[in-house]
Structure 1
Amino acid sequence: MKLYKLLLSLTFFITFSVTYSQNGLENLLSSGLEDANRFMNSYTEPGSEALIYSLSNGWYNSAKVKGLGGFEISFIAGVSQIQDKNTRFTLNENDYDFLRFASGPSEQEVGTLFGQNSPDINMNILEGNQTIGSISLPQGLGSENIEYIPNLIIQGSVGLPFSTELKLRFLPEIETKDVTSQFYGAGLQHEFTNWIPGLKLLPIAFSGFVGYNSFEGEYKFSEQSTLISGTNQSISTDIDSWHYAILVSTKLPIINFYGSIGGVSGSAVTRLKGEYNINTGVSEIQGDTLIDPLRLDASVSGYRATLGTKLSLAFFRLNIDYSFQEFNSLNVGISFGI
């Protein structure tokens, strides 16, 4: 459960309760919706992309599909690496209407959700020549020395007719006072070893795979964690992720090796929902009640290659693989089946 909550905390990192004081969030929204959305999209984009890639991990451990009626239950755990380039972005104050650096040049490298600002970077909110507020840019997971993203998935597979295998995956649904979430996925793998005459006589299998993941979650601000007065305040995240691949593997009795090449695509939409009463700020929103003020969008389209090995002992299988992609990942799977 703690591992899953860490995944949720990444998804909902922009709750600001981790990185912002009450005044910090109010001042961010007080800078205007365009500035707040622009900054938060840049700040959270690597996190959204990482989750899209992470949810595409661990789909397969062989190019050989199961026979009709064969089944397997798998528990897959993994970590994805955060690279240095994902820990910062270039903020040019000329792209913003009201935010200006308190010191230094007009263009600076600042931390993303995965980074940190050391020392702190402060920005002023200016309207005309008047400073109406200030903000300290948020620290990311780098300030907690977190360099990897965890992943945990339960998956079932069953053999279908015509050399095809159906895969279904999920994470246990969470529904508490503050958090609701659900994750599910489905994939199809088709082996075409028999398409090529004579190939089935060799200890090698070939197949194609396509899989889809969906994650939906919502974090409701409790009375104690509400940062700005208002009603029905929450953050919701919807993630869709696709993975396509061509697989090859050996067909040996005990130890086998497998690899794939393919792509990952997907999108993530995170919304700050509810009503937020802004008492101070730029004139266009001062005194307003903002409704669903922030929408953060990210999309992914990238390549992926995987190399792995699997140990099979009767009904028990153990596999480990490494995937080369935007967020490289290491995955370990334990499977039971026939």
Structure 2
Amino acid sequence: MKSLKLICLILLSVLSVNSYSQNGIRNLLSSGFEDANRFANAYTSPGSDAIIFGLANGWYNTAKVKNLGGFEISIIGGVSQIGNKNTSFALNENDYNFLSFESGPVTQQVGTVFGQNSPEVIMNIVERGQELGSITLPQGLASENVEYLPNIILQGSLGLPFSTELKLRFLPEIETKDVSSQFYGAGLQHEFTDWIPGFKVLPIAISGFIGYNKFEGEYRFTEQSSLISATNQRITTDINSWHYAMLVSTKLPIINFYGSLGAVSGSSDTRLRGEYNIEAGVDEVQGQTVVDPLRLDSSVNGFRATIGTKLSLAFFRLNIDYSFQEFNTLNVGINFGI
């Protein structure tokens, strides 16, 4: 059941970064809000960054925009490479007020949401020299042998006046017992070669693109931890992703090639929500009842380059491309339209 839930969350492209943070991050509240927030942000930020970059994938497969009234329906799937540098971070216990490693040096590499702690890493909660309890740091996706982050997107494109194309994308709203999500996006592509004198006769097209994605998700859980009791426990995520690019492609009848240079920017806001009764911990939190105790923020700004090829057969088109960015991605698109 845990593996099935994880797969579902990965396909939602965002809540996978939270399935392993439940008891581990909740228990960290016992060490105080500052320590809990410091660890939780370092643990989850690679996942949020990967999602922001991932949402920028698959927007285009040519620099040539559609004629007025032309349309295309696309199913776009991709896998993003996580990379070793995103699976762990250096945790220095001197940066924390009440946490110290049970064994080993004061600075150790510990797993992020994409990583794994093998063997498990245990930290003690210590106040004024007295040990108040211990916490096992949460595992990440590597403990389920996950090395890539997949996504799938439905997208529609429509040719507008003045050499412009509108793109709309979405995933159907998902609502289950413990997961809900919605995703949508919009983009505009404008072809410059249509209005630059002499360029129309050349076998290439050049255009500019701007696109925006929005993802909102919620993961609800009922498991209780040993140090904290809670009600209405859930994790919510709100992600915004922008992609800007200059595109160039060939204009041949059957097989074409395309490429782009651009940038990705975005932000994520993840909250641990609910009412939490901290039964044991440091003086500043012990015996308290807190509401919505953690907020995890992340933002990215990065460059991106894409190369790809497209095969056109009547109403059917197939494209494949590879994007070089913080999380390199392979995309495949199946497209139907005129």
Q: Is the 8 A contact 2:167 2:186 kept in 1?
A: yes
Q: Give the aligned partner of residue 195 of structure 2.
A: 195
How many residue pairs were aligned?
Answer: 332
* CA deviations over 1:85-125 (Å, ceiling 9, x no partner): 10111111111100111111111111111111222221111
Q: Which moved more, 1:6-15 or 1:129-138?
A: 6-15
Q: Give the aligned partner of residue 148 of structure 1.
A: 148
TM-score (norm 1): 0.94
Q: Which moved more, 1:117-126 or 1:323-332?
A: 117-126
2:279 paired with 1:279? yes
Structure 2 Cα separation of the partners of residues 251 and 323 of structure 1: 21
* CA deviations over 1:16-50 (Å, ceiling 9, x no partner): xx4665xx555311011110110010001100000
Give the aligned residue type for 2:278: I
Structure 2 Cα separation of the partners of residues 20 and 157 of structure 1: 39
Task: Give how far 1:230 is off.
Answer: 2.7
Q: Give the aligned partner of residue 11 of structure 2.
A: 7
Q: Is the 8 A contact 1:12 1:219 kept in 2?
A: no
Task: Give how far 1:226 is off.
Answer: 4.4
Q: Which moved more, 1:258-267 or 1:109-118?
A: 109-118
2:237 paired with 1:237? yes
Runs of 4+ in 1 over 6 A off after TM superposition: none
CA RMSD of aligned residues (A): 1.7
SS at match of 2:85: helix
Q: Give the aligned partner of residue 317 of structure 1.
A: 317
1:56–1:9 distance in 2 versus 1, CA, 3 Å: closer
Task: Give how far 1:144 is off.
Answer: 1.8
Task: Give how far 1:8 is off.
Answer: 3.5
Structure 2 Cα separation of the partners of residues 163 and 10 of structure 1: 35
Task: Give how far 1:9 is off.
Answer: 7.4
Structure 1 Cα separation of the partners of residues 218 and 100 of structure 2: 32
1:274–1:320 distance in 2 versus 1, CA, 3 Å: same
Task: Give how far 1:219 is off.
Answer: 1.4
1:12–1:33 distance in 2 versus 1, CA, 3 Å: farther
Q: Which moved more, 1:24-33 or 1:159-168?
A: 24-33
Structure 2 Cα separation of the partners of residues 37 and 192 of structure 1: 47
Q: Which moved more, 1:328-337 or 1:86-95?
A: 86-95
Q: Which runs of 5+ in 2 are unaligned?
A: none
Task: Give how far 1:7 is off.
Answer: 3.1
Q: Is the 8 A contact 1:64 1:249 kept in 2?
A: yes
Q: Is the 8 A contact 1:27 1:134 kept in 2?
A: no
Give the aligned residue type for 1:291: V
Task: Give how far 1:10 is off.
Answer: 4.8
Give the aligned residue type for 1:14: N
Q: Which moved more, 1:182-191 or 1:4-13?
A: 4-13
Q: Give the aligned partner of residue 265 of structure 2.
A: 265
Q: Give the aligned partner of residue 210 of structure 1.
A: 210
Give the aligned residue type for 1:335: N
Q: Give the aligned partner of residue 130 of structure 1.
A: 130
Q: Is the 8 A contact 2:43 2:112 kept in 1?
A: yes
Structure 2 Cα separation of the partners of residues 257 and 26 of structure 1: 49
2:110 paired with 1:119? no
